[in-house]
Chains A and B, each alone.
Chain A
Amino acid sequence: MLLKMTTNQIHKLIEAVDEAYSAEGMLLAVKALSATQDPAVIPTLIKVLGYNNPGAAVAAVDGLISMGEPAVGPILESVDGYNYGARSWAVRVLAGIGDPRGLELLIAAAESDFALSVRRAAARGLGNLRWEKLPTPARAEAQNRTLNTLLQVCQDPEWVVRYAGVVGLEGLANAVKSEQPVWFNALKTQLEKISLTDNVIAVRSRSLWTLAKW
């Protein structure tokens, strides 16, 4: 919902976040900010990711995802200086937006973040990338790297990360189906293998579902 607000009104909403002195107050302030859909609020939403307030962080993540592309650059710029908790929320935002500029961060997170919740969010996000935003030469290479990461993720010791890996593979396979039929078949074979051999029934079942859709 686009509310065209004056700079002054935006400023007041930003202040409301800074001045919130209860967790609930902050949550409401963050939601109000997200609802403006105005890029001017992006830095404040990013700041909220670094506070120790999970409810507000979730709302900020949703807000940033709904902002889409304008949030990607600022998020990527802010990641290095961040505390770990904020970085894991940033992974979620990038996974939700699907802009390929987030690829490096998502790959690194999926492969080696020590928190399973970050690995699974990143894996899911890798299946959600909007490849059309990359020019063709760069695209195939990026997809290849993503494919390799997701294959690795499907061997993760945590079942939920493998589950997310299957979801990621489904997304990637759908994206490359017509351009890269050889990859598509390789992915299909991989999913068939998972559906028979993963030791967790939820993962086998998720692979079967993907195969059933094809």
Chain B
Amino acid sequence: MREARIQDDFEPTPPETGGEPLTTEQAIANLRGDDTGLRYYAAWWLGRFRVSEPAAIEALLAALEDESDRTEDGGYPLRRNAARALGKLGNQQAVSALIRCLENSDYYLREAAAQALEMLGDPSCIPALLRLLSGGVESAVQIPGKPHLAEPYDAVLEALGTLGATEAIELIQPFVEHPIKRVQYAAARAMYQLTKDDKYGNRLVEALQGKELQLRRSALMDLGAIGYLPAAEAIAETLAENSIKIISLKGILEHTLETSTTEPLKLSEDAIRVMTLMDSLL
């Protein structure tokens, strides 16, 4: 199950209620109700508090078909929150509905669905994800008048990497040279996961020296997610908040420990090296 993104889980403005904190029953009831604001918040809440009981899943799946909550330009805000929540709840029932969301006209819903499918880990979504890359880098351009590209490429590329879509290697490779850095990093991350070729890990290490903090943070999270051990020292020295560097190193530590599957854990030199770096950042 993949690490939550740093930008996850920002609580939407709680709707005006009597001030009572939500319970599971209330959240599900709200989600089934008519009030758009309450429904939107409830969908977020169920994901945030990992409410995975069948009634919640059912209500969220129903919310994925909602037609009443629309933005001016045709987006589906409630569906987006429902998709995000379903990604966190680990219930494979949601997979086919989320795959259908990948064809929705709402870019942000496609993005949320790709991220959710990545978290759920079912490879049956791979063909649908690959379809979003068709047209290759040439089609991966900004939509006129919108702040986003034609497709949510970083989310799609990351998902393909996490899902082990080795059949996608040739399709993904060109995106490593996409004009937008964030897309390059997502492609490098996926290529490393799929090929284990150090040159992709090293690409991300170079990105740690980039001029923009937001991109350095992205690269840190990518390196932690793929567990690229050679990056450890460079991570510790990156110009960014210690909190993010620690999270990144934690990912590397976990990968290092997982490769030795003995119980109790055996501490390798590599694990000690990473923990030494983590200690220095506390």
Q: Which residues of A contact B (CB under 8 A)?
A: 54-55, 116-117, 120-121, 123-124, 159-160, 163-164, 167, 195-196, 201-202, 204-206, 208-209, 212
Of B242, B265, B272, the residue contacting A204 (CB under 8 A) is B265
Nearest neighbor of B239 in chain A, beta-carbon distance? A55
Note all chain B residues with C-beta closer than 8 A to A163. Answer: 278, 282
A127 to chain B, nearest CB (A): 10
Would B254 and A202 count as touching, CB distance under 8 A? Answer: yes
Q: Which residues of B contact A (CB under 8 A)?
A: 239, 241-243, 246-247, 250, 253-254, 257, 264-265, 267, 271-272, 275, 278-279, 282
Note all chain A residues with C-beta closer than 8 A to B250. Answer: 159-160, 202
State in angstroms the CA–CA spacing of A120 and B267 once bound together.
Answer: 23
Closest 8 A/B residue pairs (Cβ): A124-B282, A164-B282, A202-B250, A120-B282, A117-B243, A202-B253, A167-B279, A201-B257
Note all chain A residues with C-beta closer than 8 A to B247. Answer: 160
Of A159, A164, A196, A209, the residue contacting B272 (CB under 8 A) is A209
Of A116, A164, A205, A212, the residue contacting B257 (CB under 8 A) is A205
A189 to chain B, nearest CB (A): 16
B227 to chain A, nearest CB (A): 12
Would B254 and A117 count as touching, CB distance under 8 A? Answer: no
State the main secondary structure of chain B at its contact with A.
helix
Note all chain B residues with C-beta closer than 8 A to A206. Answer: 275, 278
Of A117, A160, A164, A208, the residue contacting B264 (CB under 8 A) is A208
Would B275 and A205 count as touching, CB distance under 8 A? Answer: yes
B163 to chain A, nearest CB (A): 23
A83 to chain B, nearest CB (A): 18
B281 to chain A, nearest CB (A): 9
Note all chain A residues with C-beta closer than 8 A to B282. Answer: 120-121, 123-124, 160, 163-164, 167
A210 to chain B, nearest CB (A): 10
Note all chain A residues with C-beta closer than 8 A to B254. Answer: 201-202
Would B243 and A209 count as touching, CB distance under 8 A? Answer: no
State in angstroms the CA–CA spacing of A167 and B278 once bound together.
Answer: 10
Of A54, A159, A167, A205, the residue contacting B271 (CB under 8 A) is A205
Nearest neighbor of B263 in chain A, beta-carbon distance? A196
Note all chain B residues with C-beta closer than 8 A to A201. Answer: 253-254, 257, 265
State in angstroms the CA–CA spacing of A124 and B281 once bound together.
Answer: 10
Q: A167-B279, A205-B271, A209-B272 are in contact. Are A117 and B265 (CB under 8 A)?
A: no
Nearest neighbor of B242 in chain A, beta-carbon distance? A117
Note all chain A residues with C-beta closer than 8 A to B242. Answer: 117
Note all chain A residues with C-beta closer than 8 A to B257. Answer: 201, 205
Q: 5 A-B Cβ contacts within 8 A? A: A116-B243, A117-B242, A202-B278, A208-B267, A212-B267
Q: A164-B282, A167-B282 are in contact. Are A205 and B246 (CB under 8 A)?
A: no
B1 to chain A, nearest CB (A): 13
Nearest neighbor of B256 in chain A, beta-carbon distance? A205
